[in-house]
Structure 1
Amino acid sequence: MHEPRLVLVCLVAACTSALAVVVLRRLAVPLGLVDHPDQRKQHVGDVPLVGGLAIFIGVVAGAACYDKFQGFEQTLLGTAAVLVLLGALDDRFDLSVRDRLLIQTIVILMVVASTGVYIHTLGSIFGHEVILGWSGVPLTVVAVIGLVNAFNMMDGIDGLAGSLELVSIAAIILFAGPTPLHGVIMLLAALAAASVPYLVVNLGFTGGKIFLGDAGSMLIGYLLAWTLIRMSQIPQTQLSPVSVLWCVALPVFDTFAVMYRRMRQGKSPFKPDRGHIHHILLGAGCGPRATLAALIAFAAGLALIGAFISSTAHSAGTNLTTFVLAMGAYIVTVTHVWLRQEVRQHGMFTPQRVGANVLSSGAPRQPDPGEIAGQRHGFVVEANDEAEVYRPARRSSRR
């Protein structure tokens, strides 16, 4: 790959994204892309939900500088535009889960039908080549939707989803090594570069905070999911179908942990609550910036562990077993810590009753430890999966 072209793609993506942030921030109110405080969203002031749109515009501009995209990358960008529009509409009108899942499924099947790319093999596991054939198509749909929603769920404190995206891209490059898929790497580079201006603004380094919005979390999860599928299904790369799991380990771990706990409580796995890892760390008294740093380090550590196992074990079965055991340990640990926090918060419950019934009673809501910790550090936490934690926003004169 030619380094000058890579630098140009990244530079154009970053500059275009930064310009888009400035323009879209002014258009947020007319477009209705504003996060308003209410009983659930306890932030200060109206915050524009335009980060994802700015990132997508930057990615498209960067991609335009690279004229060697093949059919897969072109299809991926076209279908990503549909999901970004879907996310923006969800930010504006709060679409139902059923509508979002239906459109996401249709878009994924369009990619499969037009490019022929899907999960057709899981590689050699314990000496047996696991070939899925066309049964890999529904697995592909589940995998892409799962990662899209995993990043949506992780978008809970300032900078978390964007930072985990950068960790995942770095892990993909670490695992893949030299690859003939230059177009895919260019697309990842454009995504990473376009995300930097958003992170700078979202983390409060400049005036006037913006949020990622569903458009952004959908874009990040979608592009990463398809990149991992594409790179793991050709023999020319070192990124095996099992190794891809380590590249997005933390979002996957936390999604399974949250869904497992919700189903144990008899709730829908898609019902928002405050049981994600970032909520748990905030409830333990960590500040938002400390929580962000800890989770970035944890995600990077998981990727490095996966890289070490992949390079030493030379066995996809061992690699998969280690991943499953690590995820099981994560689920048990965070569920236990969450239950202890709920016992402290709702002292009238036993741990067993908390695990089955907490947050489902009609009793008056007690102060949340995470909110207390957030307020102590000048931040406020929203009570949903798409929440953000941030410093009190400066009220804009443009409203």
Structure 2
Amino acid sequence: MLYIVIALSFILSLILTPMVKKFAVRIGALDYPNARKVHQYVMPRMGGLAIFISFVIGFLVFLPQTYTLWPILLGAIIITATGMLDDLYQLTARGKLTLQLLAAGVTVIGGVQLEFITLPFIDERVEFGYWAIPITIIWIVAITNAINLLDGLDGLAAGVSAIALFTISMLAVMMGNPLLALIGFLLFGSTVGFLAYNFHPAKIFMGDTGALFLGYMISVISIMGLFKNATIFSLIVPIIILGVPILDTVFAIIRRMVQKKPISAPDKFHIHHCLIRLGLTHRQTVMLIYLMSAMFSLAAILFTRATMWGSTAILIALIILVELIVEITGLISKNYRPLLNLISKVTV
């Protein structure tokens, strides 16, 4: 069954993406190069519409039409419409945030909520009560924007999202949650199908249409499955899976606060920009970030299978790894650029 789900969504996305490309060109949903962007040519965007449509078809064919799923689909429609409007008209940051809050609010009111956590070691349950609503909304909006901020190179956001979706889906299978697995694999197949046209050199960009949709869906299904019997440690699992976009977003917020710029202000200091400046090619940068995402995903799977103390050890190791990545990147950029350039040439 899962193989059929992946295959159908993949094929649908492969067929739909060229159609969406023509549609984007016709309505003027185009991405023009500028000083902040890496690409040098005018590119059609709104490619995420193909991911969304293939998912919706799979949703109607494979998923049970239950009351609990319809608010999720309604939220997905709102967030996709938000991305389409932004791809066409460049919405203001406030306008985008308002519509994101609306999509998250609809989903939360429909029953997708983080209602409690269980403290480790003492097994004491802490109920969030009315705080469950704002906490869940913040999580959805934060992850949605984290994926959106990562969408700066050909295939980057789509590939990282596919890795996260595959990991969440496999964890759902391990936990005996077939509904979550179906949703995750539908999204995975749709994203990989689109990635065939989006990997460098890209023929179409997913735009905010795709980045916001994928970020929204990843945030929602992580709540549906990984937070089900929420302990503090299970809350960490989706954060580990999404380690790359979350770290990139946190660093971007800190950077803009230090520079006294609006948090929504764009710049060219995201992780992919920094790696390119260090000497890596476009494709090498994307593949390196894929590898980092896969490492975080593997750590998340090990995290769920380990004992409490084992999970603690993995978490500490990840924290040390993140610190080493930050320090080594800074060291290389200052002192070892010729060495990195040599490595880059050897690995072309």
Report the counterpart of residue 262 of structure 2 in structure 1.
Answer: 268
- Is 1:47 matched with 2:36? no
**2:11 pairs with 7, 11, 15, which one?**
15
Sort the Cα spacing of 1:67 and 1:203 in 2 relative to 1 into closer, same or farther, 3 A. closer
Could you tell me whether the CA contact under 8 Å between 1:13 and 1:60 is conserved in 2? no
Partner deviation per Cα, 1:65-108 (whole Å, 9 max, x = no partner): 21424323232122201111110100111101111111111221
**Superposed counterparts of 1:318-357, under 5 Å:** 318=312, 322=316, 325-326=319-320, 329=323, 332-333=326-327, 336=330, 340=334
**2:113 pairs with 90, 108, 118, which one?**
118
Partner deviation per Cα, 1:190-244 (whole Å, 9 max, x = no partner): 1111112221111257xx710010010001110010000111332499x922222
Report the counterpart of residue 217 of structure 1 in structure 2.
Answer: 211
- Alpha-carbon distance in structure 1 between the residues aligned to 2:241 and 2:144: 14
Could you tell me whether the CA contact under 8 Å between 2:14 and 2:196 is conserved in 1? no
**Superposed counterparts of 1:1-399, under 5 Å:** 3=1, 6-41=2-37, 43-114=39-110, 116-127=111-122, 128-204=124-200, 209-235=203-229, 240-314=234-308, 318=312, 322=316, 325-326=319-320, 329=323, 332-333=326-327, 336=330, 340=334
Structure 2 unaligned spans of 5+: none
- Alpha-carbon distance in structure 1 between the residues aligned to 2:310 and 2:98: 33
- Alpha-carbon distance in structure 1 between the residues aligned to 2:318 and 2:135: 18
Sort the Cα spacing of 1:17 and 1:139 in 2 relative to 1 into closer, same or farther, 3 A. same
- Alpha-carbon distance in structure 2 between the residues aligned to 1:298 and 1:86: 30
* Greater Rg by CA: 1
The 3-state SS of whatever aligns with 1:241 is: helix
The 3-state SS of whatever aligns with 1:107 is: helix
- Alpha-carbon distance in structure 2 between the residues aligned to 1:80 and 1:315: 38
The amino acid that maps onto 2:96 is R
How many residues are treated as equivalent by the alignment? 336
The amino acid that maps onto 2:116 is T
| TM-score of the two chains, using structure 2 as the length reference | 0.86
Could you tell me whether the CA contact under 8 Å between 1:243 and 1:319 is conserved in 2? no
Sort the Cα spacing of 1:294 and 1:321 in 2 relative to 1 into closer, same or farther, 3 A. closer
The alignment-based identity, stated in percent, is: 27
Could you tell me whether the CA contact under 8 Å between 1:13 and 1:62 is conserved in 2? yes
The amino acid that maps onto 1:193 is G
Sort the Cα spacing of 1:124 and 1:211 in 2 relative to 1 into closer, same or farther, 3 A. same
The amino acid that maps onto 1:325 is I
- Alpha-carbon distance in structure 2 between the residues aligned to 1:63 and 1:310: 28
Partner deviation per Cα, 1:114-147 (whole Å, 9 max, x = no partner): 2x22111233235343332221211111111111
Could you tell me whether the CA contact under 8 Å between 2:166 and 2:188 is conserved in 1? no
Sort the Cα spacing of 1:78 and 1:319 in 2 relative to 1 into closer, same or farther, 3 A. farther
Could you tell me whether the CA contact under 8 Å between 1:256 and 1:331 is conserved in 2? no
Partner deviation per Cα, 1:8-66 (whole Å, 9 max, x = no partner): 33233222222221212212222121112345446343211032001111111122221
**Greater Cα offset, 213-222 or 192-201:** 192-201
The 3-state SS of whatever aligns with 1:130 is: strand
The amino acid that maps onto 1:122 is I
The 3-state SS of whatever aligns with 1:71 is: coil
- Alpha-carbon distance in structure 2 between the residues aligned to 1:51 and 1:334: 36
Could you tell me whether the CA contact under 8 Å between 1:151 and 1:217 is conserved in 2? yes
For the aligned residue pairs, the C-alpha RMSD in angstroms reads: 3.0
Sort the Cα spacing of 1:124 and 1:288 in 2 relative to 1 into closer, same or farther, 3 A. same
Give the C-alpha shift of residue 250 in structure 1: 1.2
- Alpha-carbon distance in structure 1 between the residues aligned to 2:133 and 2:35: 41
The 3-state SS of whatever aligns with 1:151 is: helix
Considering fraction of residues, name the structure with more helix.
Answer: 2
